[in-house]
């Protein structure tokens, strides 16, 4: 993940959220010890990175992520998906990014 983060920073990405998640696999369940009990699970630990980007940057970002993350993965699995984002508003700083101004708040909840 560090390689991907470094390349994205070089590309100019200013925001990145990384989370540890679990993905459901079709593989045979493996046994883990949880609180002293043996548990069979087919959930696999994974990493999710959310990278907001302008529409005209998406194609280049997907290409970069495929090159860097694809070379780093040992499992050969992973997904990149795109979701349109209308706006991002930082609660702490009031920083705004988006297609329309929502900072007035008059139409956010109804």
pLDDT by residue (tens digit) across 18-74? Answer: 889 888 877 788 888 889 999 888 888 888 888 888 888 889 888 988 888 776 555
pTM for the full predicted model? 0.62
Q: Give the 3-state secondary structure of residue 67.
A: helix
**Tokens (6 digits) for 73:** 């993965």
In CATH terms, the fold of domain 2-85 is: Alpha-Beta Plaits (3.30.70)
Q: How far apart are CA 57 and CA 13, in angstroms?
A: 10
Q: Across all residues in the chain, what is the average pLDDT?
A: 78
**Close Cβ partners of 7 (under 8 Å, ≥ 6 residues apart):** 64, 68
């Amino acid at each position: 993940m560090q390689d991907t983060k470094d390349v994205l920073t070089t590309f100019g990405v200013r925001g990145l959220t990384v989370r540890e998640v679990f993905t459901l696999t079709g593989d045979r369940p493996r046994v883990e010890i949880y609180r002293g009990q043996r548990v069979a699970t087919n959930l696999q630990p994974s990493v999710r990175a959310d990278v907001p980007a302008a529409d005209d940057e998406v194609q280049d970002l997907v290409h970069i992520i495929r090159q860097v993350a694809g070379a780093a993965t040992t499992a050969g699995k992973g997904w990149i998906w795109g979701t349109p984002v209308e706006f991002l508003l930082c609660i702490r700083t009031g920083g705004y990014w988006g297609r329309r101004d929502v900072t007035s708040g008059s139409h956010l909840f109804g």
